[in-house]
Amino acid sequence: MSIANGARIVKESFTNMSRNRVLTVTSIFTVFITLLIIGIFGLFLLNISYNATALDELLDVKIFLVPEADVYTINDLNETLNRDEKINKVEYISQEQAYEATKELFDDDMESLGLGADFLPASFVITLKDYDQVDYVVDIYRQYPSVYKVTYHKESFDFTSNYSKWIKNISGVLGGILAILAVLLISNTIRLTLYSRKDEVIIMKFIGATEGRIKIPFIIEGGLIGFFGAIISFIVTGFVYVRVYNMFMNSSGDELFLTGLKIAPLQETLLMVFVGFIVLGVTLGVAGSLFAIRKHLRV
Amino acid sequence: MIIFKDVTKVYKNGTEAIKNISIAIPKGQFTFIIGPSGSGKSTLVKMIMREEVPTYGEVFINGYDMLGIKRHQIPTFRRSIGVVFQDIKLLPNKTAFENVEFALQITGVNRRDINKLVPHLLKIVGLSQRANAYPDELSGGEQQRVALARAIANGPDLLVADEPTGNLDPRTSIGIIELLGRINKMGTTVVVATHDSTIVNRMKKRVIVLDEGQVVDDQMKGQYI
């Protein structure tokens, strides 16, 4: 295909879009809403995962050992924990290490209080691969004779496990429904274009145009609808994210800062959203077109 | 050039449009296919254009087997035939020149050749002076001439016209059919499906008469029955 032919085909697609202005705008709007919702939920999830390190501490499981646990027992347990497929990371904290850490916290007042290095038990700090498994893992290791007790921050696990799942499910379902709606609407727009260009399509068929030559302007049209929807979505999502980002960055003295929570970096995130939106928008548009023309444009 | 061998066409709703027809139309011939409504003329034309395929039998057009032809070969096959419709089907937002140009653009002819070919084609159909007119500025006859120029733009071996004078007055119809005669003299095989007795009787060409899906008469210098 020559450049002139390519340019003509793109021009054809723009002409069709302007002919069916109302439907085109509706379709662009649907893509916009779809991507906006997917984007907002997506950014929320992205920031949750970005804060995973911050949350990690809250999602640790601590296995405290009985004082009489000897080096062999500790090594055995260490090996068992490292072999356990449900466990992601294992860290051993000796009595001395625990003591030193606590000492820092209490400004070295420990000794004046008469608390020695054996005051705190040795422990294993583990993180899990799947937070849903926490109860199961805790129950198992609690039964070990060398284990004094197992602790974890139940609320954090419940939040991470339930809410992140909930957010994922909602964005998945809502995004899915809207994506289907977008595909159907775009498909409807293309079908109307097809109807308004019925004669042209018939002429093209009988003149000997290839199936690709007939279909490409319609596919480009769908792609353009998706593209424009994605651009508008990006502008709105980007604007909201910049506002939230600035709010976050300027809140160094208040609560947000104290929680230790971070926000994903602006430039990288916006670039990722831009690329994601364009790819998703164009894919939705092309899918809508293909759905509309799959039967109607056979040579 | 055109071979129908024991062809039967049954539509999905059970209508038997063509019943065991065998026809051969050699290269360069001018042939009328006539018959009343529902006689199977349009189905026959559709099978020539490969818009329909036979239920039974074999159809060969310009050397292509209409049942065996692969999907990707259909555009190439269609470039070997020109089609004229009863409702003309000119694109309303394009001038006469652009309508003819469209056929050449679609098949990938380059701009330089298009600029040479279109005026030549419009000259053949006698519309050189109307190149910049839009379809709604042209008479019915002129529109059909533009459609004819478009149909022969890619130099087809075969020209198929389905009721080309259906919407025209008798005088204009004669002009169109004489133009088809001139195109035929240039070497193109012409098949015209019609129920216009005036043009059939004037041309004294081969006439195949269909009735209820069967060939009931076939004469080399036929008259409208």
Residue A253: predicted pLDDT: 47
Contact B108 A5 (CB under 8 A): yes
Find out if CATH 3.40.1360.10 is the number for domain A60-152. Answer: no
Tokens of A162: 């339930």
**A221 vs A45, higher pLDDT:** A221
Segment B187-206 mean pLDDT: 90
Whole-angstrom Cα distance, residue A180 to residue A288?
Answer: 9
Nearest to A31 by CA among A272, A293, A289, A296: A289
pLDDT band for B93, please (50, 70, 90 cuts).
confident
More confident residue, B44 or A142: B44
pLDDT at A149: 86
Provide φ and ψ at A32, rounded to 5°. Answer: -60, -50
pLDDT of residue A296: 65
The answer on pLDDT for A257 being more than 60 is no
Reported as a pLDDT band with limits 50, 70 and 90, residue B167 is confident
Higher pLDDT, A165 or B90: B90
CB contact under 8 Å between A5 and B91, yes or no, is no
Q: Tell me what the mean pLDDT of segment B127-146 comes to.
A: 95
How distant is the Cα of A195 from the closest Cα of chain B, in angstroms?
14
pTM reported for the whole predicted model: 0.66
Mutate to test the interface with A, among B50, B78, B80, B91 (most CBs of A within 10 A): B78
Residue B105 with chain A: CB contacts under 8 Å: 5, 8
Contact list in B for residue A6 (CB cut-off 8 A) is none
Of A19, A6, A27, A20, give the one whose Cα is nearest residue A216. Answer: A6
Higher pLDDT, A271 or A261: A271
| For residues B197-203, average pLDDT | 86
pLDDT in tens, B51-77: 999 999 999 999 999 999 999 999 999
Chosen for mutation from A2, A196, A207 (greatest number of chain B CBs closer than 10 Å) is: A207
3 state SS for B31-68: EEEECCCCCCHHHHHHHHCCCCCCCEEEEEECCEECCC
How far is Cα B205 from Cα B29, in angstroms, rounded to an integer?
9
**What pLDDT is stored for residue A114 in this prediction?**
65
A interface test, pick of B106, B112, B146, B158 with most A CB neighbours within 10 Å? B106
The residue in chain A having the minimum alpha-carbon distance to the alpha carbon of residue B104 is A207
pLDDT tens across A196-247, in order?
778 888 888 888 888 888 888 888 988 999 999 999 999 999 999 999 888 8
pLDDT tops 60 at residue B48: yes
Q: How close A296 comes to chain B (CA, Å)?
A: 13
For residue A62, which amino acid is it?
A: K
- Which H or E run contains B158? strand B158-162
Contacts of B188 (CB under 8 A, 6+ apart): B28, B82, B152, B156, B157, B158, B159
Give the separation between CA A16 and CA A196, rounded to whole angstroms.
Answer: 9
A24 and A100 Cβ atoms separated by less than 8 Å: no
* Contact across the interface for B89 and A5, Cβ inside 8 Å: no
Q: Residue B3 pLDDT more than 60? A: yes
pLDDT above 70 coverage of chain B, percent: 99
Q: Which residue of B has its CA nearest to A199?
A: B89
Q: Residue ranges per domain, chain A?
A: 3-54+157-296, 60-152
Q: Is a pLDDT exceeding 50 seen at residue A254?
A: no
A209 with B75: Cβ contact below 8 A = yes
Q: What is the pLDDT of residue A164?
A: 66
Q: What pLDDT digit, counting tens, does each position of A68-93 carry?
A: 888 888 888 899 989 988 888 889 98
Residue B31 has pLDDT above 50, yes or no: yes
Instruction: Look at residue A166 and tell me whether its pLDDT is greater than 80.
Output: no
DSSP 8-state symbol, A90 = E
